[in-house]
Structure 1
Amino acid sequence: MVEVIPKQIKDAWDTWNIRGMIILSLSLQIILIFFAPLRKRTPNKFLILLLWSSYLLADLSANFAVALIAKNQGKDPKPDDPPEDKKLVALWAPFLLLHLGGPDTITAFSLEDNALWNRHFLGLVFQALAGVYVVIQSLPNVLWVVILLLFIAGTSKYLERTIALYLASSDKYRNLMLDASNSAFDYTVQANNLDMDSILASEMYMKEHHGQANSLKLKHPDKELTDLQILQFAFLFFNNFTSLMVNNIFSLEMRDKSKAFFSALQLQEEALSIIEAELEFIYEGLYTKGAVLHSSLGIVIRVISVGSLVAAFTIYHDRHNKIQEFQKADIIITYTLFAVGIALEFIFVYMFMLSDGAIAALSKFKDDSDEMSSLKDRMLEWILGLKRKWKGKISREEEVFNTPFLHRRWTGNITMFNFLTYSMNADTERIHNPRGRTCQYLWKIALSPFRYVFSIMQAWSGSIAIWFCDLHRYIIHHVIILPPGENQVTRSMINIFKTFVEFWLSTVPYFLAFPVTCVINFLGIRELFHEIRLRRSLHHEPLKKNLWSFIYSELKIRSQNQDSQESATTKASARRDWASSHTQIQIADHEMLLRYITDVDYDHSLLIWHIATELCYQEEDSAEKNCDKMKREISKIISDYMMYLLMMQPKLMSDVSGIGNIRFRDTLAEADRFFTKKGIRNSRDVNLGSKKILSVDTSIEPSDVKGNHCKSVLFEASSVAKELLKLEEDFGKDKWEVLSKVWLEFLMHAASHSDGTTRLELLSKGGEFINFVWLLMAHFGLGD
Structure 2
Amino acid sequence: MGVASYITDHAKKIWDVWNLRGAILLSLSLQAFLILFATFRKRASKPAVIMLIWITYLLADWAASFAVGLISKSQFDRPGPDNNGDLLAFWAPFLLLHLGGPDTITSFSLEDNELWLRHLLGLVFQAIAVAYVFYQSLPNKLWMPTALVFLSGIIKYGERTRALYLASINRFRDSMHTKPDPGPNYAKLMEEYSSKIEAHLPARIDMIPEPNKESRIPNTTNSTAMDDIEVVQEARRFFEIFKGLFVDIIFSFRERNESRDFFHRTKPVATLRLLEVELNFFYDILYTKVVVVRDKFGYFWRFVCFGSVEIALALFFFMDKDGFGRFNVKVTYILLLGALALDVVALLQLIFSDWTVSALKNPKKHWVLAAIIGSYLSLKKSPWSDEEEEPEIRFLAWIKRHLFRRWSRSISRYNLIDYSIRERPQKIQTICDRVGHSFSKIIVLMGLKDFVDHMRYSSRTSFTKELWLFIHQELQDKSRLANDLGSAKRIYSARGEWALHNPHWNELLPFVTEVEYDESIILWHVATDLLYSTATETEQSNDCHVGFCKDLSDYMLYLLVVQPKMMSSIVGIGRIRFQDTCAEAKKFLSRKELSPHEEHKQASDYILKVKTTVRPVDVKGDRSKSVLFDASWLAKELRRYEDQKWKIMSKVWVELLSYAASHCTATAHAHQLSKGGELATFVWLLMAHFGLGEQFQISEGHARAKLIVKH
Pairing partner for 2:577 from 647, 663, 681? 663
Aligned partner of 2:211 in structure 1 is 207
Give the 5 Å matches for 1:182-581. 186-193=185-192, 200=206, 203-204=208-209, 206-208=210-212, 212=215, 215-219=216-220, 221=222, 223-265=224-266, 267-320=267-320, 322=321, 324-364=322-362, 374-376=364-366, 378-387=367-376, 394=383, 396=385, 404-425=401-422, 459-461=430-432, 519-520=442-443, 522-525=445-448, 527-528=449-450, 531-563=451-483, 567=487, 579=495
Q: CA RMSD in A?
A: 3.3
Equivalent residue letter for 2:139: P
Distance, in Å, in 2 between the alignment partners of 1:393 and 1:775 is 18
**Change over 3 Å in CA distance of 1:391–1:282 after alignment to 2:** closer
Say if 1:55 and 1:109, in contact at 8 Å, map to a contact too: yes
Deviation sequence 1:298-357 (CA, Å, 0-9, x none): 11111111111111111111113x1x2312221111011011111111111111101122
The structural deviation recorded for 1:678 is 3.5
**8 Å CA contact retained: 1:41, 1:409:** yes
Match of 1:775 in 2: 685
Does structure 2 retain, via aligned residues, the 8 Å contact 1:219–1:261?
A: no
For residues 164 and 565 of structure 1, what CA distance do their matches in structure 2 show?
38
Give the direction of change, closer, same or farther, for the CA distance of 1:156–1:584 in structure 2 (3 Å limit): same
Report the CA distance shift for 1:75/1:420 in structure 2 as closer, same or farther (over 3 A): closer
CA contact (8 A) 2:86 2:142 kept: yes
Write out aligned runs for 1:131-146 (5 A).
Answer: 131-146=130-145
CA deviations on 1:650-680 (whole Å, 9 max, x unpaired) are 1111122322222222212222222233433
Deviation of 1:536 after TM superposition, in Å, equals 2.5
Structure 1 position 239, deviation (Å): 1.6
What's the secondary structure of 2:501's corresponding residue?
helix
Query: How far apart are residue 287 of structure 1 and its match?
Result: 1.0
SS, match of residue 635 in structure 1: helix
Distance 2:299 2:421 in 1: 58
How far residue 180 of structure 1 moved from its aligned partner, in angstroms, is 1.4
Q: Is the contact between residue 231 and residue 360 of structure 1 (CA under 8 Å) also seen in structure 2?
A: yes
Matches within 5 A, 1:625-704: 629-680=543-594, 684-704=598-618
Contact 2:100 2:153 in 1 (8 A): yes
Q: Which AA in structure 2 matches 1:672?
A: K
**Aligned in 2, Cα 1:607/1:541: closer, same or farther, shift over 3 Å?**
same
Matched, 1:742 2:652: yes
159-168 or 614-623, which deviates more: 614-623
Task: Measure the CA separation in 2 of the matches of 1:666 and 1:682.
Answer: 25
Once residues 152 and 680 of structure 1 are traced to their aligned partners in structure 2, the CA distance between those partners, rounded to angstroms, is 70
Could you report, residue by residue, the CA deviation over 1:485-504 in whole angstroms, capped at 9, with x for unpaired residues? xxxxxxxxxxxxxxxxxxxx
Q: Which residue of 2 aligns with 1:67?
A: 69
Deviation sequence 1:497-527 (CA, Å, 0-9, x none) = xxxxxxxxxxxxxxx97x87875554333x2
Distance in 2 (alpha carbons) for counterparts of 1:111 and 1:312: 36
Which residue in 1 is equivalent to 2:170? 171
**Matched letter for residue 368 of structure 2:** M
Matched, 1:595 2:515: no
CA gap of 1:624–1:144, structure 2 versus 1, over 3 A, is closer
AA aligned to 1:35 is F
**3-state SS of 1:541 partner:** strand
Assess, with a 3 A threshold, how the Cα gap between structure 1 residues 197 and 558 changes in structure 2: closer, same or farther.
farther
The CA deviation at 1:249 is 2.5
Mark the CA change 1:458 to 1:97 in structure 2 (over 3 Å): closer, same or farther: farther
AA partner of residue 179 (structure 1): T
Q: What 5-or-longer segments of structure 2 have no aligned partner?
A: 1-5, 197-201, 390-396, 695-711
Q: By how many angstroms is 1:186 displaced?
A: 4.3
- CA separation in 1, counterparts of 2:358 and 2:609? 59
Q: Secondary structure at the match of 1:677?
A: coil
Secondary structure at the aligned position of 2:509 is classed as: helix
Shift of 1:198: 9.6
Structure 1 runs of 4+ off > 6 angstroms?
5-12, 195-198, 389-393, 397-402, 515-518
CA distance in 1, matches of 2:672, 2:178: 30
Q: Which residue of 1 aligns with 2:501?
A: 585
Deviation at 1:175, TM superposition (A): 0.6
**Distance in 2 separating the partners of 1:177 and 1:24:** 40
Are the counterparts in 1 of residues 497 and 512 from structure 2 also a CA contact under 8 Å? no
- 8 Å CA contact 1:416–1:640 kept in 2: the answer is yes
1:472 aligned residue:
none
Could you tell me how far 1:15 is from its partner in structure 2?
5.4
Q: Are the counterparts in 2 of residues 220 and 264 from structure 1 also a CA contact under 8 Å? A: no
> 1:139 is matched by which residue type in structure 2?
L
Q: Determine if contact 2:496/2:512 at 8 Å carries over to the other structure.
A: no
Distance 1:772 1:516, change over 3 A: closer
Aligned equivalents of 2:458, 2:485: Cα separation in 1: 44
Work out the CA distance in 1 between the residues paired with 2:676 and 2:580.
32
Query: Within 2, Cα distance between the matches of 1:251 and 1:600?
Result: 34
Cα deviation digits, residues 566-591 of structure 1 (max 9, x gap): 947xx66x99x7526522422x5545
Match of 2:122 in 1: 123
Distance in 2 separating the partners of 1:735 and 1:329: 74
* Aligned equivalents of 1:293, 1:179: Cα separation in 2: 24
Aligned residue in 2 for 1:149: 148
| CA shift in 2, pair 1:10/1:682, >3 Å | closer
Q: What's the TM-score once normalised by structure 2's chain length?
A: 0.87
Cα distance in 1, alignment partners of residues 345 and 678 from structure 2: 29
Q: 1:397 to 1:623 in 2, by over 3 A?
A: farther
Q: Distance in 1 between matches of 2:386 and 2:225?
A: 18
Shift of the alpha carbon at 1:11?
9.4
Deviations 1:277-309 (A, max 9, x none): 011111111111122222222111111111111
TM-aligned CA deviation for residue 425 of structure 1: 3.7
Residue 408 of structure 1 deviates from its aligned partner by 0.6
Matches of 1:611 and 1:326 in 2, distance apart? 72
Q: Which residue of 2 aligns with 1:99?
A: 98
Q: TM-score, normalised by structure 1?
A: 0.79
Deviations 1:415-460 (A, max 9, x none): 122222332349xxxxxxxxxxxxxxxxxxxxxxxxxxxx9x9743
Mapped to 2, the partners of 1:280 and 1:522 lie a distance apart of 41
Task: Report the AA paired with residue 538 of structure 1.
Answer: S
Higher relative contact order (CA 8 A, sep 6+): 2
Does residue 619 of the first structure (1) align with residue 534 of the second (2)? yes
Tell me the equivalent position of 2:709.
Answer: none
C-alpha deviation, 1:253, in angstroms: 1.6
Decide whether aligned partners of structure 1 residues 192 and 422 sit closer, same or farther in structure 2, where only a CA change above 3 A counts.
same
Distance 1:694 1:77, change over 3 A: closer
| Correspondence for 1:26 among 21, 25, 28 | 28
Counterpart amino acid of residue 446 in structure 2: L
Q: What stretches of structure 1 of length at least 5 have no aligned partner? A: 365-372, 427-454, 466-511
Structure 1 or 2, whichever has the larger Rg, is 1
- Asked if the contact 1:150–1:309 (Cα under 8 Å) also holds between the matched residues in 2, the reply is yes
Q: Distance in 2 between matches of 1:561 and 1:424?
A: 44
Matching residue of 1:90: 89
The answer as to whether partners of 1:36 and 1:105 remain within 8 angstroms in 2 is yes
